[in-house]
Structure formats: C-alpha cells, structure tokens
Chains A and B, each alone.
Chain A
Amino acid sequence: MKELLRVQNLCKTFTLSAKQQRLEKTNEKRKVAVDNLSFSAYDGEIFGLLGPNGAGKTTTLRILSTLIKPDSGDAFLDGKSVVREAEQVRTKIGFLTSELKLEDYFTPNYLFDFFSDLYHVDEQVRAQRKHSLFTRFGISRFAEVKIADLSTGMRQKVSLAIALVHDPEVIIFDEPTNGLDVITAKTVTDFLLELKQEGKTVIISTHIFSLVEKTCDRVAIIIDGKLVTCDALDKVKNGLSLEDRFFAIYEEVAGGVE
C-alpha cells in the first residue's frame, strides 16, 4: 500500500497562560502536547489516533491540517510538507473538528457553494457533489435553513458535507461522533466506512473504543504526547478487547487510572 501520510518526529509545546496553569493545576509554564511523534497512514485505510483527553490527538490533527505549525519535525501528505507546502496540503485534505464552526447566519446551501468557490470546484461537479452529499446526509430538507436554526446533529452533517466539497484524498476527523445522538453517530460511522470503500484515507482521533474497533484498520495509541504503539488493530489488541488492551497499556505507561 502507498504511504499517503508520514509523520516524522513531530514535537509541539504550548506556553500556558496563568489561567491555563490554574485549570491544569500546574506551575509549569510550558506544556509538551506532542513529543517526538512518528507514524504513517496508508492509502485507502482508516487510521485511528486513540488516547485519553489531553494526550495530544487534537494537536496532532491540527498540525496535519496546517492550522498550527510544529516546533520541530514535519508531516508529509502525499509528499507535501505541512510546514513548507501548507497551501498545497490544504487542497488535499478535508478537516472536520468541533473547533471549526459554520457561520450561523448562512444556510447549508450557501455555505456549500461558498466553500466550493474557495476550493475552485467546477460548477457542474459542485452541483453533482452537492446533490450526492445532501441526499446522503438528508441535508436537502433543511438546505435553506440558517445554521443557527439547526440541531447539533444537523450541523455536524452539514460540516461533513462541507469538509468534502473538494473531494479530498485524506479526510481528517477529530472526535467525529462526539456530542451526537445515536442515530447521527451511526450515520457518521457508516459514512467513514463508505469513504474507505471509495478508496479515501481517513484519519480519526477518538477516545471511543467501539468506534475504533468498528472502523479502523490501524491504530496508534498516544499517551502524554508520546506514541505508545502503532500497528494493525488486531495486533494492537493482541487477543484482548481494545478497551482492555488500552487500559493495560495505560497502566504500564502512565501508572494506571486515578
């Protein structure tokens, strides 16, 4: 399989504000979010980043999506550096995270067209893609309703559709089912599998074991910014359930659950 994403010795440290120090209950002024992280993802697979809150999953995905830059190290998407060739990387990825919001004032229809313009999607292709995605997620019935008036699930579907306006090679989802009702969560999970069938590479970060077991081909476990293991799902599980295996690893690395 072709290596589509290569993450090489990625490091990222954040300076903590006084407020953040209080929240994190620490006197340290700097926090290592990602510590020398390296892994690869291959063409047509679903790759999962699994770890507890604060492990560095979201920071890694933000670096991959070019929103932030690493302190050192690099990541290459189809050979393009996320540090030096960020604009080209952006044309190849679709990024979905709860951090990225859609403007309340606009409708799904308008936003799809707006983002299609930014990605320079041909009008005819755009129309076909919009029809296909809006039908797939049932967006057509609320396509002219303002985002402000949509439920969380509806918004997530619209965000999904918009992340795919340019038919990206790699789709990066940060906690794709977080905060969703069971029906919408299943729609998203099924869609991840559909994307895989279409030959897309999907990178997800999650702390939901069932989602990883259901969708991922390979998985990387990150704890305190460090890569603990990265392999095919079955190999990582090593005969156990993913949950049992994760806690065994966690106990070994972090000294158990408090």
Chain B
Amino acid sequence: MKGNILTIMKKELKRLLGDKRILINAVLLPGILIYVMYSFMGYALAGMFAPDAAPLQIAAVHMPTSVSQMFEAAALPYIDIDATDVAEIADIKSLIAAKEFELLIVFPADFDTMVDAFDIKSQTTTAPNIAVFYNSTDSDSERVYAQVAAMLDSYEATLANKFDVNGGDEVYNLASEKDRSGQVFSSLMPLLLTILLFSGCMAIAPESIAGEKERGTLSTLLVTPLRRSELALGKIFAITIVGTLSAISSTIGTILSLPQLTGGASDGLPLFYTMGDYLLLGIVVLSTVLLFVSLMSILSAFAESIKEAQTYMTPLMIVVMLAGVTGMFGGAAEQPLVYLIPVYNSVQCMNAVFSFEVVQLHVAITVVSNLVYCGALAFILTKMFNSERVMFSR
C-alpha cells in the first residue's frame, strides 16, 4: 500500500512541480505578489499620512496669543489676515476650494477675553465660535484640519481642567514590547495565513482531481490494481506538500512585507518567537493544509471540471474567511472543546502562538481533531472514487 501511495505522490509532484506554470502560479507567485501588494499598501498608507513636501498654507484672522503659542509648538506656520480685508478672505476661501491653500481659521475679536467671560454653568453669554475653513477632498487640508481641530479641542478641555489622567512622565502602559508587538501579529497573521493557506491549496487541488476527471485520465488509474484509498491518500499527500510550499512562500512574503504594511510597528518582531513557537505554528499550519486539501478533494471529486470545482469552493472560502476574522478580535479561546471546531481551531491556535499565549493542549486537540477529520474525509474520497455515479456522471 505504501509503495502505491508513494508512486501516486511522485507522479502528482512531478506533474504539479514539474509544470513551470503551476510552480510559478501556486508556489512562487503567491509569496512575491503578497510581498509586493502588502509593501505597496504600506507605502501607500504611509504616503497618505506623510506631510507634503510643499509648505502648508494656513491663514488666521484675529489669532489669539494663547492659540498662536500652540501653533508654534506644533510647527504650523500661518499668516495673519486683517479681518477687514474681506476680499483677501474671500480669495483664500476660493484657493482652499481649488486645493491651493490648506486652511483658514477665523477667531472672534478678543477671543481670549470672551473665553474668560464665558461661564459654562450659567451660559449668560454665547460661547465664542471659531470658524475653520478647509477642503475635505484635499488630503493636506483634511489632515491639517484634523490636527487643528484636535489642538483646539484639547485647548478647550484644559480651560475647565479639574484633573489629569496619566499626566506625569511615568510609563503607564505596562504591556511589554514583546506583548505589544505580539498583539500586532496576532491580530493580522491568523486571518492572512488562513486565507493564504486556503488559496494556495485552491490553486492546485481542483487541477489534481477534477482536472484528471475532466481529462479522462483518472479512469485510466481506476482500472489498475491501485486501491481507491491509495489513490485518495497519494493525491491528498502530494497536494498537501505543494499546498504547504505555497503556504511557506506566502508566509515569507507576508512576514517580509509586514514592517511596511504596519508602518514599522512590527519591526524586529520575529526575533521574539522561539523555535518552539515556529514548530507549533508549523504543526498547526500542516494539519490545516491537510484539512483544506481533504475538503477540496471531496469537492473536486464531485465536480466534473476544474471550473465547477472552483465554483463549489467559493462558499467554503467564505466560511474560512469568517473563521479567520475571529482571530482578529481578542485573545485565543480558552475552552478546550472549542478546539474541536475545524478551521476555527486552527485560527485560534495561530492567534495563541502569535500572542505568546499558546496552550499546548489546545494545539494537540486542534492537530488531532484535524487529522481525524482528514481521515474521515479521505475515507469519503475513497468511497467517491468507488462510486460510478460520482466518477462517471456524464
């Protein structure tokens, strides 16, 4: 039996890895594309928030001394405009609308006096109003507006300041650098990894089973003394190997691109993980790939063509993505029974590994249950290979 499984595996690997198109599409491209895509996203996001090379243009009317000091501290230069120069104020508004000027801020005359006179409890006078003109479709204008609004809000809060929260110089957040970095990885990686593992397997599983069925080459194998179980296991193992290679490629691409994607928040993070963490992650990933491949093999055997198989896999992908999203919120689940739920268990284990909270019992339950599910699915696949209704439905 072992010999025949190996023979089928060797043939499948020669077919999948020997074909340059499959090798490039299923193994090399995912890693490269992910690296390029995430890096590009990271740079694009960084560019969105980075200050423009051109100096910002801000104009102020009746700028009070109290606020001007805050502008200086925030390195926001501005030009004073005379309140009586109505034409210039109108010009500046037009320039803001044309995205050629960033901000116009108009204070009431004697702003500081009015603020001092205003009693928030009795409200006998009207609260002084500051008008801030900006253009929400101009990223620089929008950004400066947000900065100025926050600055003014903060100033407003200090006027009635009764107490401070964490106002001293101490470090109040007691989370370690390792924990904070782990939080970044554990919120992103389980979802990304799950999707990458699934898409890596999806690129090859339909080709190996539905493709052979469609081309009529599977029947050629079915008239040999090869047992259906040997055929099923040989295919599952071979696809798992290629799926794992695809996953490794995708993971390398993801890890390399994470510093760009997270704007440096995850710099140096992999150093925190030990070989034991990587080993546990590897075991979880491998059992997850096996599960995905087994599920996809069943769907592929049902389908009459590669296209049909891929159609069947779309709902499965949605389920996998939903399970992946659960890894983005909070820590890993604590009840051991939860780790019997396929896919969700893998996501929770990955979350635990990345957040340094892994419980080996949970990993053991996940891996063993995944292997049991794979065994059951391989049994079903064997039955399907034996079913003429499934194999020769045309």
Residue ranges of A at the interface with B (Cβ–Cβ < 8 Å): 65-69, 87-88, 90-91, 93, 95, 99-106, 110, 114-115, 117-120
A117 touches B7 (CB 8 A): yes
Closest to B15 in A: A105
Report B1-48 residues with CB < 8 Å from chain A CB: 3-4, 7, 11, 14-15, 18-19
How far is it, in angstroms, between the C-alpha of A106 and the C-alpha of B7 when the chains are bound? 14
Interface of B (DSSP majority class): helix
Chain B residues, Cβ within 8 Å of A95: 223
B19 touches A105 (CB 8 A): yes
How far is it, in angstroms, between the C-alpha of A88 and the C-alpha of B227 when the chains are bound? 11
Chain B residues, Cβ within 8 Å of A105: 15, 18-19
B225 touches A87 (CB 8 A): yes
How far is it, in angstroms, between the C-alpha of A103 and the C-alpha of B213 when the chains are bound? 11
B215 touches A101 (CB 8 A): yes
A88 to chain B, nearest CB (A): 8
Chain A residues, Cβ within 8 Å of B223: 65-67, 90, 93, 95, 100
How far is it, in angstroms, between the C-alpha of A65 and the C-alpha of B11 when the chains are bound? 23
Our pick among A91, A101, A104, A106 for the contact of B225 (Cβ within 8 Å) is A91
**Cβ of B319 under 8 Å from chain A:** no
Closest to A90 in B: B225
Chain A residues, Cβ within 8 Å of B220: 100-102
**Cβ of B176 under 8 Å from chain A:** no
11 A–B contacts from the bound complex (CB under 8 Å) = A67-B222, A88-B225, A95-B223, A99-B219, A101-B215, A103-B212, A103-B215, A105-B18, A106-B11, A106-B15, A110-B14
How far is it, in angstroms, between the C-alpha of A115 and the C-alpha of B388 when the chains are bound? 22
Our pick among B212, B216, B224, B392 for the contact of A115 (Cβ within 8 Å) is B224
Residue ranges of B at the interface with A (Cβ–Cβ < 8 Å): 3-4, 7, 11, 14-15, 18-19, 212, 215-217, 219-227, 388, 392
Given that A114-B7, A114-B11, A118-B7 are known contacts, is A67 also in contact with B227, CB under 8 Å in the complex? no
Interface of A (DSSP majority class): loop
Please indicate which of the listed interface residues B217, B225, B227 has the most CB atoms of chain A within 10 Å of its own CB: B225
Chain B residues, Cβ within 8 Å of A117: 3-4, 7
B15 touches A67 (CB 8 A): no
How far is it, in angstroms, between the C-alpha of A118 and the C-alpha of B226 when the chains are bound? 6
B392 touches A103 (CB 8 A): no
A220 to chain B, nearest CB (A): 22
B7 touches A101 (CB 8 A): no
Given that A101-B215, A101-B220, A120-B3 are known contacts, is A67 also in contact with B388, CB under 8 Å in the complex? yes
B10 to chain A, nearest CB (A): 8
How far is it, in angstroms, between the C-alpha of A104 and the C-alpha of B15 when the chains are bound? 10
Please indicate which of the listed interface residues B215, B221, B224 has the most CB atoms of chain A within 10 Å of its own CB: B224
B392 touches A67 (CB 8 A): yes
B335 to chain A, nearest CB (A): 46
How far is it, in angstroms, between the C-alpha of A117 and the C-alpha of B225 when the chains are bound? 11
A155 to chain B, nearest CB (A): 12
How far is it, in angstroms, between the C-alpha of A69 and the C-alpha of B392 when the chains are bound? 12
A156 to chain B, nearest CB (A): 14
Chain B residues, Cβ within 8 Å of A91: 225
How far is it, in angstroms, between the C-alpha of A120 and the C-alpha of B222 when the chains are bound? 16
Closest to A91 in B: B225
Given that A67-B388, A68-B392 are known contacts, is A119 also in contact with B225, CB under 8 Å in the complex? yes
Closest to A94 in B: B223
